[in-house]
Structure 1
Amino acid sequence: MTTLKNPEPVDVVIVGAGAGGATAAKVLTEAGLRVVGLERGPWLKPEHASGDELKFLNRNFIWQDPKLKPRTYRQNDSEDAVITNFSATPQVVGGGTTHWGGMVPRMTVNDFRLRSLHGDVEGASLVDWPISYDDLEPYYTRVEWEFGTSGLGGANRWEGRRTRDYPTKPAPLSQIGRKFATAMDKMGHSTFPMPQGMVTEPYRGRKPFSENGFWQQYPDPGNGKSSTLISFIPDAINTGLYDLRSDCYVSEILVDKTGKATGVRYQDENGNEFVQNAKAVIVCGGGIETPRLLLMSKSALFPDGLGNGSGQVGKNATFHQYSFSVGLFDKELHDPLYGWSGHYMNLCSFDFYETDESRGHILGSLIFPSMLGHPVNWSFPGRPTWGQAAKDADRELFNYSMKIGILLHDLPVESNRVDLDPTVKDAWGLPVARITHTPHQNDFAQEKWQVKKNGEILEAAGASKIVPVNMERITGNTSHELGTARMGNDPANSVVDKWCRSHEVPNLYVFDASFFPTATGINPALTIMANAWRCADRIIAVDRHGWTD
């Protein structure tokens, strides 16, 4: 490792260039602030994308390498943690928005006030958010229009007020979408077009998304599928004030003797170490890597980790387990579903989202149908795995299968947490993140009920064979990491305030899903971006005037 001359100081250094980091970079640079972005992964351009399933799915090309960047997991404190690839979020410029399915529904009004609705839930650390739906609504709208989305305003009867429709119309229904809609209508339930991070019409120089089901877990070689890689990052770069450095690994947030953040220490891809000084630091590494970085940033002033006087950094972790029911349809009775044709999840329902305690649990989830994986690596109980029989199964069974999935709206539990593993190190010699997590009993009850209900929907759709896929534990299979730097008004039980600013370090911010006080039953990306925009506006209007060099 060689130490070279440090780069010039800037106004803000942002750790991470995903949903939160890229949004903040766009807003701050367009207001005239000089920003450096440090992303630990590579900068892949759309031309690096391809339809190579082996490369992207089986070899996990854009996902972190567990040999270089492992994590450890245990269910509770009495177990030994084992090395795992838990929640292997893509670490590339654009973050999770480079690979995602692009689901962008808004949180509901009630999502912000779960403590008021349900009171104390035994074993859980349920709280209200210090902000409301109305605080985020203008920013939801800005992101939907600036980022590029599709949907139908007013179609979701559970959604809060909206001031503007989506900029492009919903995607056409796929065969799977039609099958789902017919079954739901038969059962007396409602559906609506899935709000999606893509454009379905020419929009701001972008061509419509190529309506196929293969772009989950792939970068899009075009520009129809929205990501911060093709939207907010170019917007920030075009200001001339955003210096984005990829393959840079931040190991510490630095502070001065007064407790203010002064910048970060990082290594570039060649192992050269630098200090990037800045007037403010925004951390957007995700709900696992952000608390890890804060806990590694120890000093005489912060012996337990930066901004961790409350002891809450890393606690209250939730992970949105994905569970589903699988249906197989008799080809003699049904037309093929062709899951690869059309966007792979273009219809959904919120009918089971709000609490109905007659189900035996509180909370609920968005549900949506989709194809069963990809033809190269899909699975179904009893499917042959080799030779001509496997090829026949791929040809015959894949086109007659579908699943209905949920994103578990899991309860926060204080002891479910991310901390530093005391023995396991990564390739840089730094302690890795250790995840300790046991689902709350409400999580099991909610997941079991909804997966069974999804099976009933598949039965109504005409499936001849139905298989529920229930969880035994949280596996981190959604890459949604929430709650580990909780937002709140009380410094005693939260990490950041309602502007996502550290209670203890006045120029340190957290803009990824770590700030979520509670989870949701939907994908968090839209809310991450909307909140980052909201908090960046506050920095521009108020905070920056109090910063000193």
Structure 2
Amino acid sequence: MLLNANDLPDHARLAADICIVGAGAAGISMALELSDCGLDIVLLESGTKEPDPRTQALYQGTVEDPALHSPPDRYRQRQLGGSTAIWGGRCMPFDAIDFQARPYMAHSGWPIGLPDLAAFYPKANAWCEAGEFAYTIETAFDDTRRPMLEGFDERHFTTDTLERFSCPTDFGTRYLSRLRVSPDVRVVLGGSVTGLTMSDDGAEVRQVEVRTLAGKTCTVVASSVVLAVGGLEVVRLLLSTPGKSGRGVGNAHDVVGRFYMCHLAGTIGQLMLAPSRRGWHGYDVADDGTYCRRRLALRPEVQRSAGIGNFIARLHHPRITDPAHRTAILSLLFLARAFVPYEYAKRLHGDDKIPASHWLRHMLNVLAGLPSVIAFLWHWLRDRTLAARKFPSIIIHPRTQRYSIDFHAEQEPNPDSRVTLGTGVDELGMRRLHVDWRYTRQDVVTVQKALALLAQDVQESGVGVFDYDPQAVEAEMTRYGAYGGHHLGTARMGDDPLTSVVDRNCRVHEVRNLFIASAAVFPTSSQANPTLTVVALALRLVSHLRVLHTNARPPAGDMQ
């Protein structure tokens, strides 16, 4: 059932077994998974079915260093479906090493391991519509596929693992009809949570306070409350209520908002393949039509021996801004930069200052390669714009067998990298966020050592030469600042309340009926995009809530 908070009587009071705040990937999958349990679910969403600038402005805030972090209202979407309305669809599970405490990675280690999520990953894959849960070449395909790098000796890296791509699925659109007809789920749109009313001892959420931009208010009373909002908004909701300590709900030990991570990402160097070698950086298509892509993944045992974090690399086209690539399609993308969404334009073009002469050279590249431009535009229209399962990204196959390297790496948890309440307030009177994202020396070392190992493997295999400037690594990994919408670690999971916000079941340590289903609970970031693991953790929490509310036995493999 869909409701609008503005259509409810002012000061309405809704009662439910479980109240879920946030209708993104985690919130929607949780609500629908719980809909067959005989429980009454209220799912609160600040936005409506369509994006609205006034609602989106509630995300605005400040950043300590604009060169290192985008404005807080970017890469997030305040509407039904949340940020799945704008995501790229890349899915992959975490690796076993990501959950382990590593002496060279400060503050690492989860209270759960990969086996604790293994039962939930396949279903999360289904919710994300990323095809079969098969993330290696051997498990995903029956036939032999062309090698990523012909003749590559996989000493430090493997090319066997895959990224799989969702449609990408906008959860708000895809699951709207199921939300409409579900008798157990009431979706309340247009109402923003502005605070939590706590019990006198601060150990329980008594009610959730909701307000609309039109000035109406309502409250939700529920036995359990789940914050299924992003890693930034979790901080605002927890700190906006004083809680037992007076410092914010769950913040007795000043951990909420700390350990803020994104990912380390950039594009660097030039990989020149030998004339006798061939590279493949396109997509392999599974039988069900799912796009899959291989990458160079640093082996776990190499991470341990080198004392560095998780790291992957992909073959990538040359830097678009430099017309010396003489590639019509890349120049077309440069010239069309004003029409590319912010979330992608920043990585495509960066903030380079472009000489005026380059614009003319880009135009000449396009004119010289008009046939390839026409073929590309037709491919994009057919396989991206009009297709239900969209071609994931721009792939340019260079005739010269020269690539740049696109990397994505784990960030070390850092308590000084943090999100706090700022000084300004939004239209609803809530304090805005201030973001102070920082990276550590270990982060730089991870990328430096991983790239050096990659260059070694390429050369010793006889594949070619990977040429890059080791002195430029830090500048390249911070060229775009914190990576996109991966807001992680601000309400980290752990067994010790002194150093974490939630326990292994995602319950806030100091509040018996408050849970968090968000990338905010990640103690470490892995190299992987977070959405699939967010949904898997949300489904694990569903299993726990079913036991709490119905005394049902968890299915085999679910958490106890």
TM-score relative to the length of structure 2: 0.72
Q: 2: distance between equivalents of 1:335 and 1:350?
A: 19
- Per the alignment, residue 367 of structure 1 pairs with 313
- Per the alignment, residue 122 of structure 2 pairs with 141
Q: Which amino acid aligns with 2:293?
A: N
- Per the alignment, residue 542 of structure 2 pairs with 536
Q: 2: distance between equivalents of 1:536 and 1:456?
A: 46
* Match 2:112 to one of 131, 145, 159: 131
Aligned pair 1:100/2:96, yes or no? no
C-alpha displacement of 1:275: 1.8
Aligned pair 1:356/2:326, yes or no? no
Aligned pair 1:298/2:242, yes or no? yes
Between structures 1 and 2, the one with greater helix share? 2
Q: 1:382 to 1:25 in 2, by over 3 A?
A: same
- Per the alignment, residue 249 of structure 1 pairs with 192
C-alpha displacement of 1:515: 1.0
- Contact 1:370–1:404 (Cα < 8 Å) also in 2: yes
- Per the alignment, residue 58 of structure 1 pairs with none
C-alpha displacement of 1:362: 1.6
5+ residue gaps, structure 2, are 321-329, 338-347, 374-395, 553-560
Could you tell which deviates more after superposition, 307-316 or 503-512? 307-316
Q: 1:242 to 1:379 in 2, by over 3 A?
A: same
Could you tell which deviates more after superposition, 428-437 or 81-90? 81-90
Q: Matched residue of 1:195: which SS?
A: strand
- Per the alignment, residue 411 of structure 1 pairs with 412
The aligned runs of 1:79-478 (5 Å cut-off) are 84-85=71-72, 88-113=75-100, 115=101, 118-119=102-103, 124-126=106-108, 128-150=109-131, 153=134, 155=136, 181-182=148-149, 185=152, 189-192=157-160, 194-198=162-166, 224-231=167-174, 234-259=177-202, 260-299=204-243, 301-325=244-268, 327=270, 346-352=293-299, 355-356=302-303, 359=306, 361-370=307-316, 375=333, 376-377=336-337, 378-379=348-349, 388-393=360-365, 400=398, 403-421=404-422, 423-451=423-451, 470-472=476-478, 475-478=481-484
The superposition leaves residues 84-120 of structure 1 with CA deviations (integer Å, 9 ceiling, x where unpaired) of 347632333222333323222221222111x2xx337
- Per the alignment, residue 490 of structure 1 pairs with 496
- Per the alignment, residue 392 of structure 2 pairs with none
- Contact 2:92–2:135 (Cα < 8 Å) also in 1: no
Q: Which amino acid aligns with 2:361?
A: A
Q: Which amino acid aligns with 1:153?
A: A
Q: 1: distance between equivalents of 2:55 and 2:63?
A: 16
C-alpha displacement of 1:410: 0.8
* Match 1:513 to one of 511, 519, 526: 519
C-alpha displacement of 1:6: 1.0
Q: 1:327 to 1:287 in 2, by over 3 A?
A: same
Could you tell which deviates more after superposition, 3-12 or 497-506? 3-12
The superposition leaves residues 30-69 of structure 1 with CA deviations (integer Å, 9 ceiling, x where unpaired) of 322222222233424xxxxxxxxxxxxxxxx899998653
The superposition leaves residues 185-225 of structure 1 with CA deviations (integer Å, 9 ceiling, x where unpaired) of 36765323633243xxxxxxxxxxxxxxxxxxxxxxxxx43
Q: Which amino acid aligns with 1:84?
A: P
Q: 2: distance between equivalents of 1:40 and 1:417?
A: 24
C-alpha displacement of 1:445: 1.1
Could you tell which deviates more after superposition, 248-257 or 491-500? 248-257
Q: 1:234 to 1:510 in 2, by over 3 A?
A: farther
C-alpha displacement of 1:473: 7.8
Q: 2: distance between equivalents of 1:29 and 1:366?
A: 38
- Contact 1:347–1:369 (Cα < 8 Å) also in 2: no
C-alpha displacement of 1:181: 0.8
Aligned pairs, how many? 477
- Per the alignment, residue 51 of structure 1 pairs with none
The aligned runs of 1:71-82 (5 Å cut-off) are 71-74=61-64
The superposition leaves residues 140-180 of structure 1 with CA deviations (integer Å, 9 ceiling, x where unpaired) of 122224543236737269xxxxxxx67xx69998xxxx7x8
Structure possessing the higher radius of gyration over alpha carbons: 2
C-alpha displacement of 1:19: 2.3
Q: Matched residue of 2:163: which SS?
A: coil
C-alpha displacement of 1:412: 0.7
The superposition leaves residues 445-489 of structure 1 with CA deviations (integer Å, 9 ceiling, x where unpaired) of 112334566678899877999787613488333211111111112
Q: 1:252 to 1:171 in 2, by over 3 A?
A: farther
The superposition leaves residues 274-308 of structure 1 with CA deviations (integer Å, 9 ceiling, x where unpaired) of 22222221102111110111000125x34111122
Could you tell which deviates more after superposition, 462-471 or 529-538? 462-471
Q: 2: distance between equivalents of 1:406 and 1:24?
A: 32
- Contact 1:66–1:85 (Cα < 8 Å) also in 2: no
Q: Matched residue of 1:149: which SS?
A: coil
Q: Which amino acid aligns with 1:349?
A: L
- Contact 2:266–2:406 (Cα < 8 Å) also in 1: yes
Q: 1:32 to 1:73 in 2, by over 3 A?
A: same
Q: 1:500 to 1:329 in 2, by over 3 A?
A: same
Q: 1:531 to 1:464 in 2, by over 3 A?
A: closer
Q: Which amino acid aligns with 1:119?
A: P
The superposition leaves residues 497-545 of structure 1 with CA deviations (integer Å, 9 ceiling, x where unpaired) of 1110111111100010111122211111111111111111111112566
Q: 1:68 to 1:533 in 2, by over 3 A?
A: closer
- Contact 1:170–1:195 (Cα < 8 Å) also in 2: no
TM-score relative to the length of structure 1: 0.73
Q: Which amino acid aligns with 2:420?
A: D
Q: 1:171 to 1:425 in 2, by over 3 A?
A: farther
Q: 2: distance between equivalents of 1:479 and 1:253?
A: 26
- Contact 2:70–2:482 (Cα < 8 Å) also in 1: no
Q: 2: distance between equivalents of 1:257 and 1:478?
A: 40
Q: 2: distance between equivalents of 1:429 and 1:419?
A: 16
Q: 2: distance between equivalents of 1:63 and 1:477?
A: 23
Q: 2: distance between equivalents of 1:307 and 1:544?
A: 26
Q: Which amino acid aligns with 1:273?
A: T
Aligned pair 1:69/2:69, yes or no? no
Q: 1: distance between equivalents of 2:298 and 2:434?
A: 36
Q: 1: distance between equivalents of 2:231 and 2:117?
A: 20
- Per the alignment, residue 54 of structure 1 pairs with none
Q: 2: distance between equivalents of 1:471 and 1:327?
A: 16
Q: 1:368 to 1:387 in 2, by over 3 A?
A: closer
Aligned pair 1:18/2:24, yes or no? yes
Q: 2: distance between equivalents of 1:337 and 1:365?
A: 20
Q: 1: distance between equivalents of 2:39 and 2:476?
A: 48
C-alpha displacement of 1:136: 0.8
C-alpha displacement of 1:425: 2.7
Q: Matched residue of 1:264: which SS?
A: strand
Q: 1:136 to 1:286 in 2, by over 3 A?
A: same
Could you tell which deviates more after superposition, 243-252 or 135-144? 243-252
